[in-house]
Structure 1
Amino acid sequence: MTGPSGLLDATPGPVLPQALETLAAAHSLAWADPTARHAAGRRSRALLDRAREVVAAGLAVRPDEVTFHASGDQAARSALEALARGRRRLGGPVVASAVEHSSILRWLRAGERPPSLVAVSPTGAVDLAAWAEAVDAQTPFAVLQSANQEVGTRQPLAEARAVTRAAGVPLLVDARAGLGRDAVPTDFDVLVGDATSWGGPRLGVLVVRTGTRVAPHHPPSPHEGGFALDPVEVPTALAAAEAWQQVTAHQQDEGGRARALVDRIRSAAADLEDVDVVGDPQDRLPHVCTFSVLYVDGETIVDELARRGLAVASGSACTADTLEPSHVLAAMGALTQGNVRITLPLDAVVPDREAAVERLVAELGDVVRQCRERIAAGH
């Protein structure tokens, strides 16, 4: 099974065929509750442990530091709540960049104290001087994405964590945008991922390094060491582990091909009049690209490209309403309307993605021209 032709919006993308096969087969083997003491339950537990070992090895952490959750959002929420409970006696605000995933920003803004949101550069990288000024010994914890889900810019994690370590503050790294598609982050105390980023089914991954002060749910939950409120679907975990093995075996080649295709898109967009390609041109995820088009709204371009059989996105990459203006672009000082976002699917699930990119590059100028003419005419 492969993804639809013309798909250039993998948020999330199709599940890898091998992971789908594992998911189907696992339902006949790992259907039992892994906490049950009977034979079927013990088999489910052994298979769940195996899936955890695969993911932990890929992340270069210990299996007992990894927990699974129903989604990436739930993993992130569990991380935030565990850190907040574990560090509740500290009186300062949580420190985060202004371009974090909207689910994290909503959680932070709903807290008792407003977060301290650190500004970013025009490319989307956190201002390290402002970060160092914001973090102090009263900071409960800090949050920084590994790379941005909309513009692809990688964050300076090593430098940011050096600041938090010096202050004795744990750093939560949100790696949902790039796990399996980019180098695995190493500079973190707590890490959040989502198997959909590497061609797996929907499964959240949470890593809490040993020694990090956290407090699981209260009242206690029996699932995933108290970090998850719901039980893990063992077949889903096995499929996610299979997808991880498949993707990371070819990550370097896959990443190189994706970067070359994104370079083609960035160059074609930059050649158009009044089109701004955003994000760091070099230090970025290999499969993400965003550009903003003056004098036209993004949904008009998305609709016109869809009419031509090309699926792209616009608006915020991490809100339920895709037409909502992007807080990421606003924080960068970039144009928030008229933006178009490409998130390349894996070549293994959409074999015609190169042809789709070539069609996009060939037709983009005509699409922008037609959309501007339509807007100017009031249609």
Structure 2
Amino acid sequence: MVRVTGNFASEGPLHPAAREALLAAFDQGWADPKKLSQSSSKAAILRNHGLETISTRLGIPADSIEVLGEPSLGHYLSIAGLLQESSTFAYSAIDKGKIRAIARSRTSQVLELAVDSAGAIQGLSEVSPGAVLSLQLANGETGIIQDRLLSISEDVQIAIDATASGPRVALPDRWSTALFDAASWGGPSGLAIMAIRNRSQFSYPLPRIAPISSPGSYSLPLLIASAVALENFTPESPSLREFAVAQLSKIDGVHLVGPQSPAMPHLLSLVAANVSGENVVRELAAQGVDVDSGSACSAEDLQPSHVLAAMGYETNGHIRLTLHNGTTEADIASLVTALSGVLQKLRG
């Protein structure tokens, strides 16, 4: 058998330019940029240049930026910083578990918005004035983009989750906070960017003494590497996703999730009938092809996808694919051949 190789899993390598910048930053960006030494002054220059790059590339004001050393904490900060004790909190059925956990912790009114089979959030016009809405700009499992946002009340505060989309999808005209993950544009993991549009409407939700909006603890080298990766980021070609959808649709018993929905160019999900998604992942891995299964990103926590369930799809046999820069049509064709063989084997 000819051995197939290909990475269609969510994890990708650090951008080469970011890798070089990271090594240099460890040499030059080790000092505290808030102090007055010469080394600190150099570090401050590096930090400011990085923030300017991030501001320009993400389309957010430089003075709105908070750098976070713990991306997962950003979901809580960007939402809880807008909430009052009596605020209604609205979120969608396809939001991440971290957002759903915030909803479960609320004692005031909570509104879960359904989605249709195309992945579009329903009932946005029902979110009452004064509420805080968590809005996932693009879904990290299916790649589907939310583009029907005009019906949201002017008095609703919107916490945008852009951790999956990064620079691929522009922020809507209205947003209160926005959260980005550097890994989404080939930057290092362990660094997030939170933007706060109106600081007078935001209150740091954790215990504090000083008037802060974020913990302020992050690695300056990671910030510099993230800025370099963002500066060198090239979006994936939409035609590659279209090719993948067309080829995968030819496999018997494979159903693409929201194939006609507006979507990011690098993510798609499918459901293979009458097989376990985890078994498909293992069989493909044995042939050198890496894909993801379920809603979790780690092998230790493979759970049925609440995203697919909310859209009305079967969750068993769920496979997630990521098309990286450098993926070719030949790679996709090899994946299709390998997947067809695996499904025939598993179905007997």
* TM-score, normalising length: structure 2: 0.91
Measured in 1, the distance between the counterparts of 2:323 and 2:312 equals 25
* Partner AA of 1:363 in structure 2: A
Report the Cα offset of residue 71 of structure 1. Answer: 3.5
Q: Deviations over 1:181-239 (max 9, x none)?
A: x23223322111101000001211101113661102454376xx723225121111000
Matched, 1:53 2:42: no
SS at the partner of 1:28?
helix
Q: Does 1:178 align with 2:165?
A: yes
Paired residues for 1:55-134 under 5 Å: 55-84=54-83, 87-88=84-85, 91-113=86-108, 115-127=110-122, 130-133=123-126
Q: Report which of the two has the higher share of helix.
A: 1
Q: CA, structure 1 residues 62+221, in 2 after alignment: closer, same or farther (shift >3 Å)? A: farther
Q: TM-score, normalised by structure 1?
A: 0.84
> Superposed, which structure 2 residues align to 1:1-379 within 5 Å?
5-10=5-10, 12-84=11-83, 87-88=84-85, 91-113=86-108, 115-127=110-122, 130-133=123-126, 135-139=127-131, 141-156=132-147, 158-159=149-150, 162-165=151-154, 168-180=155-167, 182-187=168-173, 188-202=175-189, 203-210=191-198, 213-220=201-208, 226-247=212-233, 250-251=234-235, 255-256=236-237, 259-317=238-296, 321-347=300-326, 353-373=328-348
Pairwise CA RMSD: 2.2
Which runs of no fewer than 5 residues in structure 1 stay unpaired?
A: 374-379
1:308-359 residue CA offsets vs partner (Å, 9 max, x unmatched): 1100001004678441000100111101110110012232xxxx55443221
Change (3 A) 1:37 1:220: farther
CA distance, structure 1, for counterparts of residue 297 and residue 281 of structure 2: 17
Q: Distance in 1 between matches of 2:130 and 2:197?
A: 21
How many aligned positions are there? 343
Q: Which runs of 5+ in 2 are unaligned?
A: none
DSSP-derived class of the 1:226 partner: coil
Task: Provide runs of 4+ in structure 1 moved above 3 Å.
Answer: 317-322, 352-355
Query: What is the one-letter code of the residue matched to 2:183?
Result: T
**Against the structure 1 CA distance between its residues 320 and 210, is the aligned structure 2 distance closer, same or farther, given a 3 Å change threshold?**
farther
| % identical equivalent positions | 28
- Indicate the SS of the match to 1:296: coil
Q: 1:215 to 1:320 in 2, by over 3 A?
A: farther
Quick check: 1:8–1:312 contact (8 Å CA) kept in 2? Answer: yes
Structure 1 260/173 Cα, relative in aligned 2: closer, same or farther at 3 Å? same
Q: One-letter code of the match for 1:143?
A: S
